[in-house]
Each structure stands twice: as structure tokens, then as C-alpha cells.
Structure 1
Amino acid sequence: MHIPTPSLRGQSLWIRCIYVGAFISFIILTYFLFDNHSSGTAKYVIKSSTAYHAPPSPSANDTNAQWEFVVERDADNHGLSEEQCRIAFPKLYFEIDKSAAFRENNPITFKELDSIPIEDGMVRGMIHHGELYVIDFAKVTVTFTRGKASLYALHRALAAFPDRQNLPNIEFIYTTEDMSRGESPVWAYTKRDDEEGIWLMPDFGYWSWPEVSVGPYKDIRQRIAAIDDGGMTVNGKVVSGLKFKDKKKQLFWHGSVATNPELRGKLMDAASGKSWSSVKSINWGDPKDVEQSLLPMEDHCRYMFLAHTEGRSFSGRGKYLMNCRSVVISHSMIWREAHHAALVATGTDANYVEVDREFSDLDRKMGYLLDNPEVAERIANNAVKTLRDRYLTPAAEACYWRHLIRQYAAVSKFEPALYEKGSDGKEKMRGVPFESWVLNAS
């Protein structure tokens, strides 16, 4: 077939059209890049706010269609795909999606974020093409390790993800305090139900908690599993696990009442004088009392029942207790954590026991559990199955971080810029790469 060759005049006209179109596109792009900044310095770009939607359910031909979460293989895998995360942890994202829905019709702006002062242990950061940058870090001695731990954990969730360059770019602020001060859209370790503008993130203990000698999260999970499932080697011999029926048939809680005297004081009163009670206050000012009363976290699991109480806000020990094959007994909680959507308090799937905030029904429920050990053991086994071996795994934590990034980006109205012009007119980076920043953090 003969294909006619266009004339030179036709070619020239066609080329000129391309050049004109490209020039117009450049002018439009330049306008959007630089017209949205009152200071004249490009710190962000206005973008359309489009809601993030999870990928569709895998089809029969999808390689993930037959994939299942296997704890022995996948629990420590920080790089599960988005589809695998959704399959493994269907309850995990409740709080994130709730925050995203709250901001869907009122997207986050750069002006709003920029108006929040970075103080009292707060951190401002950026994720750009899957890399983490630290823009500002307000060091406070008592929470300094928390701030670093959260950055390390976030960096790990990014570095382990093969497709991290395709994650959306975001700029964010989080607080390392026990509770937020109510600013939206700050990230925090905990929040109450009415604080809809706060975004929940995993707490610092998923990396490590050196102040209470818990250590890295993977290590404490291994020590806990060794108590319950065996496998620990002592004097060259492998120790078998502690059967549930052989655990101490008491409710264990040793801690400070001072952080929440009203609530924890009621626990002390309800447990006082009971045969099932191993509940006591620790006097942190008395080294002898601390030595006698403080128990390594894994040894909590030697008790059949473990009391969980909120402190100033959430209690950091909660997720460790819920790693045990024991029955965690908690008052009704008002402070939410990232994994709380997976908690079940009633029915055959119950993985913990809830009492009222006055602890008025504690004695009755303890009596029932002691009289019905098969019910108690079922609850403890459910905790292992759904919490220790699913929603409290390092894999779940990494999946949570990346979903937080996606949903936060979906309701952010701006695209952060990594570079800005300095006072000398030269381009400079707005943040410090995490790998460099952490080497100088002290």
C-alpha cells in the first residue's frame, strides 16, 4: 500500500503546532507552580483532592487471589503489598479511614499545616518520592526517643516497600506527647472519639521503649512467645511453653497509680483483699520496692489474667499484654489506639474482657472466668490468634503506616515541594534526609 508523504510545508506547520502547544502547557504549569505562594517561594503545589480508594478485590487470576497471611512467614514482613495488607488486616484501617472521611470535604491546606507551631516534642516531616525528610524537630528530653523511634519506624515501612517511589508525597506533623492538644491534622499516638481531626499513628513502642527496658518490639514478642509457646534455650535445653491451665490464677497489675489516681485507684480498691488479686502500686521513689515489684514484661504472661488501665491517656503496655496468651481485662477505654478496631469484647470471638470504668463488676467477672476456665482459655487463644499473630505484628504496623500516608495524601490539597529558594536566591532543600538527620540527632 502506498502511504503519501506529507509536504515540507505540511510538516513545518505540524511542528509549529507542537511547539505552540508545548509553550502554552509550560505557561500553565508555571502558573500553578508559583502563583499559589504569597511569599514567592515554592513550598507546595495546589492539587486536586481526590479520595483514595483501596484496590479492588483480587480476581481469580490475580496472584494474590490465593494468598493468605501466614504468621510464621509474614509476621515480620514490613514490605507486604497493598493488596496483601488489605487481605491480612481488614479491620486495621478503621481510624485512618474515619479521619479521611472527616476531611474529605474540607481538605488539608499548606496554610493550615504551616500555622501549627512545632514545639513540645512535635516533629514536622515530608515524604517525597518514597523518601523521608525531617523539616523540624522540637526536642523534649522526656519524649526524645519517642520522636526518633517513630521516624525510624516510618522510615522502615518506606524502605521495605518495593513500590515506595509511587507512594504519594505528603507533608505532616506529629506529636510525641501522651496526647495531642487537639490540633487538626496532627498525627498522634492516641485520641478520643470526639477528636475527629487527629490522625492515629502507631506508637513508639513498635520500634523500642528503652526507658522501661522493654527493648525492640520484635525481641519482646519473641520473649513473650517463648513463655507461651516454648522454644527458649536455658542451659543448653529447650524450654517448653507454659500451658494456660498452669499459669498463676491471679489478676496481675503492678504500676504507678499517680498517672491516673482516679481510675487506677478504683482498680486498687476493687482488687483489695481478693484471693485472685496480684494488684499493687509501685513506689518509683523507693528502689527496693521497684526491685521487688517490677516484673519483666514477658513475665506478665505467666499470669492467667492481666489488668490493663489507661494512664494520662493510653497505656503503652497494652499491646505487650495483648501479645500474651492470657486474658487481658480492661475497663471501657476512651483513648483509642491504632489496633483497637481489632478488639472484640463479647461473643465467641472475644479476645479480651471489658469491665466498667468504676471496676464495679470486676469481682463478678473474675469469679465467672475462674469458674469457667474453658471460657478464659478461649479468650486467651483468641488474643493470640487475632492480636499477637495478626493485628499486633510488625507487618501490620508497616501496612498501617503506608495506608496512613495514602489516606492523608488523598485529603491534602497541596503537593509539598522539597526545594525552596533561600534569601540568596539559590535553591535549598527544605528538609534533611532522615539517614543524615539521625546521625546528628542527640
Structure 2
Amino acid sequence: MSYGKRWASITIFIFVFVISFVYWIDKSALTGNYFFRTFATTISPKKSSVQVEFPFKFNCSNLNLTCPTNYPVTIEKEGSSPVACPEYMRWIHEDLRPWKSAGITRDMVESGRVYANFRLVIVKGKAYVEKYKGSYQTRDVFTIWGILQLLRLYPGKVPDLELMFWCGDETVIKKRDHQGPKATSVPPVFHYCNDDETLDIVFPDWSFWGWPEIDIKPWRTTLEALKEGNKRIEWKDRKPYAFWKGNPYMSRTRMELMKCRISDKQDWNVHLYIQDWGKESKQGFKNSKLEDQCTHRYKIYIEGSTWSVSEKYILACNSMTLLLMPQYHEFFTRSLVPMQHYWPIKVTDNICRDLKLAVEWGNNHTDKAQAIGEAASKFIQENLKMDFIYDYIFHLLSEYSKLLKFEPTIPLGALEVCSETMACLEGNKFWRIKNFMVESMVKSPRDTLPCTMPPP
């Protein structure tokens, strides 16, 4: 075929295609063709729903750090049906019960100052912090960071409030100090755990947004890594032993556990390892990745000084958790069921024997042991998503604010805090701290309502 004839054929084909396409668009506009409607919706400003997104990069070169003034104070949520909250959110009612009848006065809040690391104030959707004393590592920093992300997730929805927060290990509000004829009113103090003898208000710990000192990444990233780590070794192909790795010097019970290490004379069916965080830091944390520790059929949970943040990581590993019955409660652990989510081990002088018997039972009933391990992992994957962590905090703060008998005000010594100022503080410019903040940052408001909280 000659060049001229080939060009003529191409020209005729293009002409016919254009005519057909124009006709099809015209017809689609009348008949409601799906592709056309999708395309039209995309380009039509009247039909598109604008998704508000916060700036992702921070300009830390500005020496005069201030919070932005152009962020939305409130976002109207669509009226979609929210999902039901996990059952553990029922315990919010129980943790706030001491103040249910009489409410919370300003004097009660002020009396908690002697315990607190900081006071948090929220007024008109903005956060203010008054610091009293430093906390261990960056616990206070990432706790405050988490609350700031909640304000970004639900702008204008978190009510005005004032609260005191304690970031240490030990519980501080003892029941015995507020009973009897000379009892004083109970100070409402937020903390990461409580037990049957204390009234600390339980709040999710800082590690959900990252623990930079030991390179534990934010929970959303870590949870996905654990999910992938579970796939590496099938349960029945894992080592038929119980595994624990940690700092044994945090409690007497942990020191007792170390007596169960395998020796020439005795095999208790457990593999126990001391975690040297100083050495790990120098080696770049190559041997402490949580997703690399899902290699045994059984994992041991044991408390430290009080609760331990390791519990969620252990439960998420598909291994049957041998739970040395804890004294302290995290916010979510009160919904765990023995023999469904874990194998209970009493803390007695017979720990080694009981661990050995539990492992032997599991190895003789592999299907049942595997089912317990997978049920716990499923509980963590489905009920401990970051969406639910934020909803827990939202409901806790909302219910707490309803009890306040005074109008929250900004203290003279308080500073306004927001994501931009926190990430750019000189002490937070250490690369891992700032990276974890960026990684865990809420990038846009949620367009649905929080989950529906269960009744008391």
C-alpha cells in the first residue's frame, strides 16, 4: 500500500471514531451511562464531595512556631450508620463511676496536680498543655500527640475539658485513701492502667503512636507487620515451646520466671531471653523486631512494674498466650476471656511446672491450642484497630467532660499545642521521633461518626 493510501485510511478511521465517540457521549448524557456519570461527577464541582486534607509537611525552619489558624474548627459528618464499638469500651462507664453521682469539681481536678506530669485543656477544639514534670523517655510527648491526632480526626467534636495525666508505671489513686469517715474526694487522674485497688482512669498508652527509644513503630504499622510475620511460619511448624523475651529486672515475678530457663538438669518447655536494650540500640534494633518473634507455638505474657505494653504484641502473634495472671488492667484487656483468648497461669511458686504442663497440653491438643492463639490474634486485629483506639479516647473524653461541674479555662502557664508545633520542637527533631509523628499523623478528618458505645 502506498504512503498516500495508508494516510487516507488512517484519516477516515480517526474521523469515524470521533463521530462515534461524540454520538456515544451525547447518548450517554441522556441515558445515564455509568462511565459518563462517573466522569461527570469527577469534574462537576456541584456533585463532588470535598475531602479536607491537612498539610503533610512541616516547615520547621520558622523559628516563631505557632499553630495554624486556617484549619477547620468543625466538620459536619455524614449521617451514615456508625459501627458498634468493641465490648471493652463498656469499661469507660466503670472507670468514671467514682464521679458519676456528684460530678467533678475544679477542686477535684486541682487535687490531682501532685500526681500529674501535665494538665491537658481542650477549649473550642484547640489543645493547651501545662507541664509540671518530665516523664520517662517520650511517654508524655506521644500521649499528647495521640490526643492531637484525635482533634484532627474529629474537629469540633471533642468537648471542652480539663484533665490531669500521669505517665509513670505505678498507679497513683488508691481506693483506701478515699474511703471511711475522713475520706477526701477522689482526684480524677488519667493513666495507662489501674487495678482493683486503684481508681486511675485508664487511657491507651503512648506506644500506639510509637516508642522511638526502642524503635517500636506506630501501632498501625506494627499491627500490619505482625500480620505479615504470622504468615512466615504455620502454627504447627513453629517451635513447640513457650517464648518470652524482655527485661527481667522490672519485677520480682519476672526474676522468678527466669528460673524456668532450660538447663542440663531440667527442661521446662520454655525459651527465655534477656532483652538488652542498650546493646540493641547500638546494633540498630536488628534483633528486637516484634514481627520476627512469632516463631513459637506459645508466648508468655508477664507484667513488669505494673502492666506491660508488650501484651498487645504478644496476643497478636497467633501463638497461644500463656498469661501469667496480671494484677493490672489495660483499657482493652478486660474483654479477654480465659481459654478463649489465652491460657491462664497463676502466679505462684509453681510457675515453671504450670508453664511446662500448659505446653504439654497444647502439644497434645494442637488444634485447640492453635484456635486459642488465633482467636487472640483475631481479637487484636479486629478490635484494636487505630480507628477504635481513637473512638475509645473520643468516648472516654466525652463521658468525662459530661461530669465536669465547671467551665474549662486556659491556665496562664499553658501553651497551645498542635501537630505542627510538636513535630518541630527542638527536642522532637531527633529523626525517629519526628518520623514516628509523621507516620502516625491523621491526614484528614473522618467522614463518619465514631462507633456506638455500648451501655454500662
The reply to whether TM is greater than 0.5 is yes
CA distance, structure 1, for counterparts of residue 190 and residue 161 of structure 2: 13
- Deviation of 1:93 after TM superposition, in Å, equals 1.6
CA distance, structure 2, for counterparts of residue 312 and residue 429 of structure 1: 33
- Equivalent in 92, 95, 98 of residue 96 of structure 1: 92
| Counterparts of residues 17-416 of structure 1 (less than 5 Å) | 63-64=80-81, 83-84=82-83, 87-89=84-86, 91-117=87-113, 122-140=117-135, 142-143=136-137, 145-161=138-154, 164-182=155-173, 184-196=187-199, 198-229=200-231, 241-260=232-251, 262-272=252-262, 273-274=266-267, 276-282=269-275, 294-346=287-339, 350-358=340-348, 359=351, 360-387=353-380, 389-416=381-408
What does the per-residue CA deviation read over 1:399-422, in whole Å, with 9 as the maximum and x for residues that have no partner? 11001111111222112024x7xx
- Deviation of 1:259 after TM superposition, in Å, equals 0.8
Conserved? CA contact 2:130–2:413, under 8 Å: no
Whichever residue aligns with residue 102 of structure 2, its letter is: N
- Deviation of 1:282 after TM superposition, in Å, equals 4.4
- Deviation of 1:190 after TM superposition, in Å, equals 1.1
SS in 2 for 1:107: coil
CA distance, structure 1, for counterparts of residue 277 and residue 125 of structure 2: 43
Whichever residue aligns with residue 207 of structure 2, its letter is: G
- Deviation of 1:149 after TM superposition, in Å, equals 0.6
CA distance, structure 2, for counterparts of residue 399 and residue 283 of structure 1: 35
CA distance, structure 1, for counterparts of residue 278 and residue 425 of structure 2: 34
SS in 2 for 1:117: helix
What does the per-residue CA deviation read over 1:106-155, in whole Å, with 9 as the maximum and x for residues that have no partner? 32111221233367x71111122333221335224x33x11111111111
CA distance, structure 2, for counterparts of residue 100 and residue 285 of structure 1: 39
- Deviation of 1:293 after TM superposition, in Å, equals 11
What does the per-residue CA deviation read over 1:18-37, in whole Å, with 9 as the maximum and x for residues that have no partner? xxxxxxxxxxxxxxxxxxxx
CA distance, structure 1, for counterparts of residue 167 and residue 97 of structure 2: 24
CA distance, structure 1, for counterparts of residue 171 and residue 426 of structure 2: 23
Whichever residue aligns with residue 198 of structure 2, its letter is: E
SS in 2 for 1:135: strand
Whichever residue aligns with residue 434 of structure 1, its letter is: C
SS in 2 for 1:92: helix
- Deviation of 1:95 after TM superposition, in Å, equals 2.9
Whichever residue aligns with residue 318 of structure 1, its letter is: E
- Give the unaligned 5+ runs of structure 1: 1-61, 65-82, 230-240, 421-427
- Deviation of 1:436 after TM superposition, in Å, equals 5.9
- Deviation of 1:294 after TM superposition, in Å, equals 4.9
Conserved? CA contact 1:345–1:354, under 8 Å: yes
Conserved? CA contact 2:131–2:414, under 8 Å: no
CA distance, structure 1, for counterparts of residue 130 and residue 279 of structure 2: 41
Evaluate the alpha carbon distance shift between residue 276 and residue 429 of structure 1 in structure 2; reply closer, same or farther with a 3 A threshold: closer
- Deviation of 1:98 after TM superposition, in Å, equals 0.6
Evaluate the alpha carbon distance shift between residue 244 and residue 314 of structure 1 in structure 2; reply closer, same or farther with a 3 A threshold: same
Conserved? CA contact 1:118–1:136, under 8 Å: no
Conserved? CA contact 2:226–2:316, under 8 Å: yes
Conserved? CA contact 1:329–1:354, under 8 Å: yes
- Deviation of 1:385 after TM superposition, in Å, equals 1.9
SS in 2 for 1:414: coil
More strand by share: 1
Evaluate the alpha carbon distance shift between residue 116 and residue 399 of structure 1 in structure 2; reply closer, same or farther with a 3 A threshold: same
Evaluate the alpha carbon distance shift between residue 441 and residue 117 of structure 1 in structure 2; reply closer, same or farther with a 3 A threshold: farther
Whichever residue aligns with residue 127 of structure 1, its letter is: I
CA distance, structure 1, for counterparts of residue 282 and residue 382 of structure 2: 36
CA distance, structure 2, for counterparts of residue 412 and residue 288 of structure 1: 44
CA distance, structure 1, for counterparts of residue 143 and residue 281 of structure 2: 33
CA distance, structure 1, for counterparts of residue 300 and residue 151 of structure 2: 35
- Equivalent in 416, 420, 429 of residue 432 of structure 1: 416
Evaluate the alpha carbon distance shift between residue 294 and residue 429 of structure 1 in structure 2; reply closer, same or farther with a 3 A threshold: closer
CA distance, structure 2, for counterparts of residue 289 and residue 417 of structure 1: 46
Q: Number of residue pairs matched?
A: 330
CA distance, structure 2, for counterparts of residue 134 and residue 441 of structure 1: 17
SS in 2 for 1:274: coil
SS in 2 for 1:337: coil
CA distance, structure 1, for counterparts of residue 398 and residue 164 of structure 2: 15
Whichever residue aligns with residue 258 of structure 1, its letter is: Y
Conserved? CA contact 1:208–1:217, under 8 Å: yes
CA RMSD of aligned residues (A): 2.8
Conserved? CA contact 1:270–1:363, under 8 Å: no
Whichever residue aligns with residue 215 of structure 1, its letter is: K
Evaluate the alpha carbon distance shift between residue 63 and residue 285 of structure 1 in structure 2; reply closer, same or farther with a 3 A threshold: closer
- Give the unaligned 5+ runs of structure 2: 1-78, 175-186, 428-456
Q: Which has the larger radius of gyration?
A: 2
What does the per-residue CA deviation read over 1:327-358, in whole Å, with 9 as the maximum and x for residues that have no partner? 11111111110111221113xxx111110012
Evaluate the alpha carbon distance shift between residue 306 and residue 414 of structure 1 in structure 2; reply closer, same or farther with a 3 A threshold: same
SS in 2 for 1:415: coil
CA distance, structure 2, for counterparts of residue 282 and residue 289 of structure 1: 13
CA distance, structure 2, for counterparts of residue 106 and residue 412 of structure 1: 10
Evaluate the alpha carbon distance shift between residue 171 and residue 392 of structure 1 in structure 2; reply closer, same or farther with a 3 A threshold: same
Evaluate the alpha carbon distance shift between residue 251 and residue 295 of structure 1 in structure 2; reply closer, same or farther with a 3 A threshold: farther
Conserved? CA contact 1:255–1:281, under 8 Å: yes
SS in 2 for 1:171: strand
